[in-house]
Amino acid sequence: MTNTDSNTDADPSARDDRPRDDDTVGRREADDVEEVDESEVTEDVEGIDEQGLTADDGSDPTVDDGSATTVAADVTDVEAGVEADGVADDTSEAEPDEASPGLFDDLLSGEPIFENKEVLRPSYTPRRLPHREEQINNMATILVTALRGDTPSNILIYGKTGTGKTASAKFVSDELETTSQKYEVPCEVQYINCEVTDTQYRVLAQLANKFIDENVTYIESELERLEDTRAALDEETTTVEETGFDSEEALDERIEDLDADREEFEPVPMTGWPTDRVYSTFFEAVDYRERVVVIMLDEIDKLVEKSGDDTLYNLSRMNSELDNSRVSIMGISNDLKFTDFLDPRVKSSLGEEEIVFPPYDATQLRDILQHRSDIAFKEDTLSEDVIPLCAAFAAQEHGDARRALDLLRTAGELAERDRTETIHEAHVRRAQEKIELDRVVEVVRTLPTQSKLVLYAVILLEENGVHNINTGEVFNIYKRLCNEIDMDVLTQRRVTDLISELDMLGIVNAVVVSKGRYGRTKEMSLSVPLDETKSVLLADSRLGEVEDAQPFVQARFDDS
């Protein structure tokens, strides 16, 4: 697949570690793969082995055991390092002048748990996607049209995060491109992650530049070929009939045309052009040659949310004006209701075919984890209950495979940090807490300042042992906090709304209680760890100004 969005692959090397014959390459060999040009992966498998050999043939034992000492060492120290390595296993002999272990030696010496951690990262594209056979077959059935040279229907894919949409779509497009090469049908997939590329300008510019690149490459190879033909004619080693051209003049004309075309393709700058110029540049670049293009717009809901549906409108009506090429759109959305915001024409064109990715259940998540863990971990490092527990936790989290894999990876990292050789259930539980805490920290950190103040008021009350905190109490403390740091004070009604938002984010738990003839109020308690949340709040530059809130919290109790 042609990935037009290099930004989206947090770790481009990860695609290189997908299971091949050399599945067992360790972490360090996997690092070597990073230098490898993708297009040469198959040949380079040997290259990797060679590099592995240099480490194994004893010529440089400091590299062999991955010792970090050489990194900082000068030449003389390397010698010492070699000797020290020779006796490294013999720990009973405390040689007085033995090189003292470096910072990393100790960490490296433990048996690592992971065989290849990369396969547990989101950037890795698995070769097998259990429980997505139906969706993958549906996509393939629609897209096979492209291999027959016709335009496939547009497809809209829906499903919550972590249900395998991106992985399945990438898998299908890789297969599509491979097959199109095999049968020499001009068909390609352009992947765009709209969370990163989130405006019409950027989407069109990225597509335009991709096709301009391809066209220029094509023109240059054609020119080279034709100029060779021209030279052969001049040397009379070939005849006009053999060239496929009617005359020498026709050949020369074609060369001139190609030269002119090459000059005309001007890349689109990342900003500055009017949108219709970007669009027409893209249009001409696609239509320069015969081809079927599937434009994969991942996280399409983010694009529409940020920039409306103009891009989709323009892309979806292109086919009626294209002469040589055809485009088909494959939109992927995490938001099931996103078509509600679309122009009806865009909606019906984009949703010609719809494929739903349902959440995984715990059993399916187990299968997914099992497949990955076979490659990711060394043998016998997982105790029996680890995978079922990761699967159960993630099934509660709307059947999110990403969460399941994160749990498994984090559990492995915690076990590694404990220097144990086996991952246990307890590591998974700690991993769950850690991931949950990371999420809370992120949510709290990005709250608007007013919400942070409200939350801080709740925390101060809890710290002082108040249970069933009510809105009035929160509001009083909140007011004082605002005065303290010169913030505008919102109305109590507005503060009640902010409390509801905190409730929805799972940060506080609020219930409405009736106070008889005194009306109703909200009672709340904190649902997140107090100390961590407090320190995130105080890291905010404004809230950090609240030097000592204790006196007026105390005053509030004295009043009552």
Which positions make up the binding site for ATP?
Answer: 163-167, 360, 372
Tell me the C-alpha distance between 300 and 200, whole Å.
12
399 binds ligand ADP per the rule CB under 6 A: no
331 binds ligand ADP per the rule CB under 6 A: no
The minimum distance between CB 185 and ligand ADP, in angstroms, equals: 27
165 binds ligand ADP per the rule CB under 6 A: yes
Contact 87, 98 (CB under 8 A): yes
The minimum distance between CB 436 and Mg ion, in angstroms, equals: 22
Candidate residues 254, 347, 402, 430; the one interacting with ligand ADP per rule CB under 6 A: 402
If contact means CB under 5 to 8 A according to the sort of partner, which of ligand ADP, Mg ion, none does residue 131 touch?
ligand ADP
Q: How far is CA 280 from CA 70, 186, 215, 274, in A?
A: 56, 22, 15, 10
Tell me the C-alpha distance between 510 and 500, whole Å.
7
Q: How far is CA 277 from CA 205, 206, 261, 262, 284, in A?
A: 10, 14, 18, 18, 11
Closest CA to 510 of 438, 236, 521, 519: 521
Candidate residues 315, 346, 405, 481; the one interacting with ligand ADP per rule CB under 6 A: 405
126 binds ligand ADP per the rule CB under 6 A: yes
Tell me the C-alpha distance between 194 and 5, whole Å.
10
Judged by CB, which is closer to Mg ion: 81, or 331? 331
Judged by CB, which is closer to ligand ADP: 169, or 286? 169
If contact means CB under 5 to 8 A according to the sort of partner, which of ligand ADP, Mg ion, none does residue 409 touch?
none
Tell me the C-alpha distance between 348 and 309, whole Å.
13
Tokens of 184: 């020499």
Candidate residues 19, 130, 351, 358; the one interacting with ligand ADP per rule CB under 6 A: 130
Judged by CB, which is closer to ligand ADP: 402, or 434? 402
If contact means CB under 5 to 8 A according to the sort of partner, which of Mg ion, ligand ADP, none does residue 132 touch?
ligand ADP
Tokens of 14: 């990860």
368 binds ligand ADP per the rule CB under 6 A: yes
The minimum distance between CB 401 and ligand ADP, in angstroms, equals: 3
Judged by CB, which is closer to ligand ADP: 213, or 335? 335
Binding site for Mg ion (CB under 5 A): 166
527 binds ligand ADP per the rule CB under 6 A: no
Tell me the C-alpha distance between 261 and 131, whole Å.
48
Residue 190: CB atoms within 10 A of its CB come to: 22
The minimum distance between CB 528 and Mg ion, in angstroms, equals: 27
122 binds ligand ADP per the rule CB under 6 A: yes
Candidate residues 154, 166, 314, 533; the one interacting with ligand ADP per rule CB under 6 A: 166
SS (H, E, C) 140-207: HHHHHHHHCCCCCCCEEEEECCCCCHHHHHHHHHHHHHHHHHHCCCCEEEEEEECCCCCCHHHHHHHH
Tell me, rounded to whole angstroms, the distance of Cα 172 from its chain centroid. Answer: 18
Q: What angle do CA 265, 270, 273 make, to 5 degrees?
A: 70
If contact means CB under 5 to 8 A according to the sort of partner, which of ligand ADP, Mg ion, none does residue 84 touch?
none
Judged by CB, which is closer to Mg ion: 166, or 328? 166
Contact 425, 389 (CB under 8 A): yes
- Rounded to a whole number of angstroms, the distance between the first and last alpha carbons of the chain is 69
159 binds ligand ADP per the rule CB under 6 A: yes
173 binds ligand ADP per the rule CB under 6 A: no
117 binds ligand ADP per the rule CB under 6 A: no
The minimum distance between CB 411 and ligand ADP, in angstroms, equals: 16
> Which strands, in side-by-side order, build the sheet including 508-514?
469-470, 520-526, 508-514
391 binds ligand ADP per the rule CB under 6 A: no
Closest CA to 368 of 401, 400, 390: 401
Part of the chain binding ligand ADP (CB under 6 A), chosen from 84-92, 128-136, 187-195, 212-220:
128-136
Tell me the C-alpha distance between 213 and 275, whole Å.
20
Judged by CB, which is closer to ligand ADP: 168, or 533? 168
Candidate residues 136, 146, 156, 167; the one interacting with ligand ADP per rule CB under 6 A: 167
DSSP per-residue string spanning 329-378: EEEEES-TTGGGGS-HHHHHHHTTEEEEEPPP-HHHHHHHHHHHHHHHB-
358 binds ligand ADP per the rule CB under 6 A: no
Judged by CB, which is closer to ligand ADP: 102, or 122? 122
The minimum distance between CB 159 and Mg ion, in angstroms, equals: 9
Candidate residues 61, 81, 152, 162; the one interacting with ligand ADP per rule CB under 6 A: 162
The minimum distance between CB 14 and ligand ADP, in angstroms, equals: 10
At 45, the amino acid letter reads V
Please list, in sequence order, all residues whose beta carbon lies within 8 angstroms of the beta carbon of residue 314, skipping any fewer than 6 positions away: 200, 204, 279
Judged by CB, which is closer to Mg ion: 69, or 166? 166
Residue 310 phi, psi (nearest 5): -60, -45
164 binds ligand ADP per the rule CB under 6 A: yes
Closest residue to Mg ion, based on beta-carbon distance: 166
If contact means CB under 5 to 8 A according to the sort of partner, which of Mg ion, ligand ADP, none does residue 126 touch?
ligand ADP
At 251, the amino acid letter reads L
Closest residue to ligand ADP, based on beta-carbon distance: 164
Judged by CB, which is closer to Mg ion: 166, or 471? 166
Residues at the binding site are 163-167, 360, 372
Q: Which residues bind ligand ADP (CB under 6 A)?
A: 122, 126, 129-132, 159, 161-167, 368, 401-402, 405
